[in-house]
Amino acid sequence: MAHDDHPHHHHDHDRGQEPPSDMALRVKALESLLVEKGLVDPAALDAIIETYEHKVGPRNGARVVAKAWNDPAYKARLLADATAAIAELGYGGRQGEHMVVVENTPGVHNMVVCTLCSCYPWPVLGLPPVWYKSSPYRSRAVIDPRGVLAEFGVALPEDVEVRVWDSTAEIRYLVLPMRPEGTEGLDEEALAGLVSRDSMIGTAIVTGPGA
């Protein structure tokens, strides 16, 4: 697709070589107005951005998954009351107030979508990627989950049941992926290093360290 087709979607490799986009100017003007009126505190804006750039992201979810893999009692608590079990690791709050964890098994594969907007478990996965919020994923995840998974390079055996979780309420879903073979000796930190964001949305499989 030619770059010129999307004047409002400047890509980051172009940053600094072109004038500010319409959106950049529009948001800057809005921020100035709200700051001048005393409606928002610019330091609070910085603190929000800092939180999602450096503190809250998919590493949190990976630690939850690794602990569940390594600690059967924790896994039982996680599947019974995910909000409380996730809070044990210090994660919770906005867009993760009510958590449910769904477990992948040899017979069941789970994947999460929000067909109506972009609901996503922020405290454990951070902010959602563009594809998760995009029309193609939101429209097709429910009607053609296997086709969507194929675009992520995931092919499931035909007899596996695919469960799609549409986040229509304030319940947020996290997928507990299957622990890969050959990871028996790994500690939780090493295990967490194997867990990708997409595996916790359900659009990837976790592979072992040698894969």
Partner 1 sequence: MNGVHDMGGMHGLGPVAPDPNEPLFHEPWEARALALTLAAGAWGRWTLDGSRHQRELIPGPDYLRMSYYEKWITGLEALLVRSGLVTAEELTSGRPAPGAAKTAPPLTAERVAPSLAGGGPTDRISDRRPRFALGDAVRARNIHPVGHTRLPRYARGHRGVVSAYHGAHVFPDANAHGLGERPQPLYQVRFDAAELWGPSANGPGAVFIDLWEDYLEPA
Residues with catalytic roles = 114, 117-119
Asked if 47 interacts with partner 1 (CB under 8 A), we say yes
Contact of 175 with 111, CB cutoff 8 Å: yes
Nearest partner of 175 among 125, 107, 130, 106, judged by Cα: 125
Nearest partner of 117 among 172, 42, 77, 177, judged by Cα: 172
* Residue 62 Cβ vs partner 1, minimum distance, rounded to whole Å: 16
For partner 1, the binding residue among 59, 89, 103, 171 (CB under 8 A) is: 171
Task: Name the CA dihedral angle for 85, 90, 94, 100, rounded to a multiple of 10 degrees.
Answer: -20
Residues 87-116 binding partner 1 (CB under 8 A) are 92-98, 100, 113, 115-116
**Any bridge partners for residue 20, and if so which?**
none
CA angle 125/130/134 to nearest 5° reads 115
Asked if 61 interacts with partner 1 (CB under 8 A), we say no
* Residue 95 Cβ vs partner 1, minimum distance, rounded to whole Å: 7
* Residue 94 Cβ vs partner 1, minimum distance, rounded to whole Å: 4
Each residue 1-20 as x (binds partner 1 by CB under 8 A) or -, in order, gives -------xxxxx--x-----
Asked if 84 interacts with partner 1 (CB under 8 A), we say no
16 Rama class: left (phi>0) / alpha (psi -120 to 50) / beta: left
Each residue 119-148 as x (binds partner 1 by CB under 8 A) or -, in order, gives -------xx-xxx-xxxxxxxxxxxxxxxx
Asked if 67 interacts with partner 1 (CB under 8 A), we say no
Which residue type does 64 have? V
